[in-house]
Amino acid sequence: MTTLTSQDPQTEALILAQDMLDDPVNVDNPLRPIVQQLINSIQALERRLDKISVISDHYHAQLKSANERLEEAAHRDLLTGLSNRRDMIKRLTNEMNRVQQTGQTLTILLVDVDHFKQVNDTFGHLVGDQVLADIADMMRSILRTSDLCARWGGEEFLLLLPDTDSSNAKKIAERLRQIIMNHAFTGKDFSFSLTISIGGASSQPAQRLEDIIQAADTMLYQAKKLGRNSVQFV
Amino acid sequence: MDPIILQATKSTPAVHFDAQSSILKISGESYPENALAFYTPLKQWIQQFLGELQGSTVLQLHLTYLNTSSTRFMLMLLDQFEDAFKAGKSVEVCWYYHPDDDRSYEAGDEFREDLTVPFEILATTEPLGEEDR
């Protein structure tokens, strides 16, 4: 049987000291005031320790949430709030492992804004930045919770659609193309519309991640070559 | 009494203790490698200052982060003010926190809890003791 030592040493000492004070034998013991003083100071120390713990916990919680915000920020693209390229590569790698285990199909969409340089040249970089942020918002609005979207390069985005075959992915890509095409980018003294080109590729058994991205990139190039504002799939 | 004026470092707060103007401020983050070495001179200075104090003084604190041992020493400094107050000196404590920083407010509230010395908790967006930096 295990002996349960219920008390830590100072609690035990406190109990013993209190017992001594309470014992009628010690009513006139000249040590009484000293023992009482020791009891008081141990109790004060314990209160002090509790206080230090409580305050430290406040600050540690604060530090932890600051760290979490930093961690979160390290995965984000500042302008669009989407995942950054580094985070996407990590997620893609994880997702590919899952695909190999489960045999599900994932689809990658590479999205590029058509003639984006003209927006910057005509309206300035601030408007260009706003356009990218708006497009990111529109992408977010059509994505399902399991989908992930990243700013892949300057005006290029990568959408990861897990557990989605090419026929479903095509519908999503086509919807996205239409939403952007029908959107008016407006500001104080301008209003214009834009189009995007999309290249898509779905995972084939035993295909490597780089090859899927490469295939999507080839399809994006194809979409551009065919006159832009288009969706092309492998 | 010589003042203690310390610039904030990465792990220690800015300190501005000036007996002549009766200004006492500690601001910033505190997680020194050796909290005992950092806080002992401050404690000794306050001891002498409060002993000689004729007029009134306010201890101004704006602490955005304290590690555990700094918390312990901060409680000791506050004890010194509590004792001075109980001895009839005109002393106060002012705890500043940034309005977005709930944790710092709660820490201030904990520090204040067992004290009888006047202890105000004030929201501020201004960094304290900027002139020292």
Which residue among B67, B68, B103 sits closest to A61, beta carbon to beta carbon?
B103
Q: Residue B102: which pLDDT band, with cuts at 50, 70 and 90?
A: confident
Tell me how far CA of residue A184 lies from CA of A79, A176, A191, A218, B102, in angstroms: 20, 14, 6, 29, 42
Looking at chain A from residue 28 to 47, which residues have their Cβ under 8 Å from any Cβ of chain B? Answer: 47
Residue B33, pLDDT > 70, answer yes
Q: Is B133 on the interface with A (CB under 8 A)?
A: no
Contact A147, A139 (CB under 8 A): no
How many CB atoms lie under 10 A from the CB of residue B72?
Answer: 19
**SS3 call for A90:** helix
CB contact under 8 A, B106 and A63: no
Active site residues of A: 155
CA-closest candidate to residue A127, choices A44, A191, A56: A191
pLDDT digits (tens, 9 = 90+) for A64-98: 888 888 988 899 999 999 999 999 999 999 999 99
CB contact under 8 A, A62 and B68: no
Measured CA to CA, the distance from residue A111 to residue A216 in angstroms comes to 9
pLDDT at A205: 82
In whole numbers, what is the pLDDT of chain A averaged over residues? 92
In whole numbers, what is the pLDDT of chain B averaged over residues? 92
Q: DSSP for B20-65, please give it.
A: TTTEEEEEEEE--S-HHHHHHHHHHHHHHHHHH--SEEEEEEEEEE
Q: Phi and psi dihedrals of A137, rounded to 5?
A: -60, -40
Q: Which residue blocks in chain A are alpha helix, DSSP H?
A: 9-22, 32-74, 85-102, 116-123, 125-142, 166-181, 209-225
Burial of B83 (0-12, 13-18, 19+ CB in 10 A): middle
Burial of A30 (0-12, 13-18, 19+ CB in 10 A): exposed
Residue A197, pLDDT > 60, answer yes
**SS3 call for A109:** strand
Q: Residue A1: which pLDDT band, with cuts at 50, 70 and 90?
A: very low
Q: Phi and psi dihedrals of B59, rounded to 5?
A: -90, 115
CB contact under 8 A, B68 and A63: no
Could you give the ipTM of this predicted complex? 0.83
Q: Is B100 on the interface with A (CB under 8 A)?
A: no
Residue B128, pLDDT > 80, answer no
pTM: 0.65
Q: Percent of chain A at pLDDT above 70?
A: 97
Q: Is A208 on the interface with B (CB under 8 A)?
A: no
Residues of B in contact with A48 (CB under 8 A): 72, 75
Residue of B nearest to A45 (CA): B72
pLDDT at B132: 41
Helix (H) or strand (E) holding B70: helix B68-86
Chain B nearest CA to A56, separation (Å): 5
For A149, residues 6+ apart whose C-beta sits below 8 A from its C-beta are A82, A83, A136, A139, A140, A143, A157, A158, A159, A160
Give me the mean pLDDT over the B40-67 stretch.
Answer: 95
Six token digits for residue A45: 């120390």
Residue A147, pLDDT > 80, answer yes
Return the sign of the alpha-carbon dihedral for residues A219, A222, A228, A232: negative
Give me the mean pLDDT over the B105-111 stretch.
Answer: 94
Chain B nearest CA to A29, separation (Å): 32
Contact A148, A196 (CB under 8 A): no
Tell how far CA B75 is from the center of its chain. Answer: 10
Q: Is B78 on the interface with A (CB under 8 A)?
A: no
Residues of B in contact with A47 (CB under 8 A): 114
Residue B129, pLDDT > 90, answer no
Pairing of strands B56-66, B23-30: parallel
CB contact under 8 A, B110 and A55: yes
Q: Residue B133: which pLDDT band, with cuts at 50, 70 and 90?
A: very low
pLDDT at A6: 62
Contact B112, B122 (CB under 8 A): no
Measured CA to CA, the distance from residue A132 to residue A185 in angstroms comes to 11
Burial of A63 (0-12, 13-18, 19+ CB in 10 A): middle
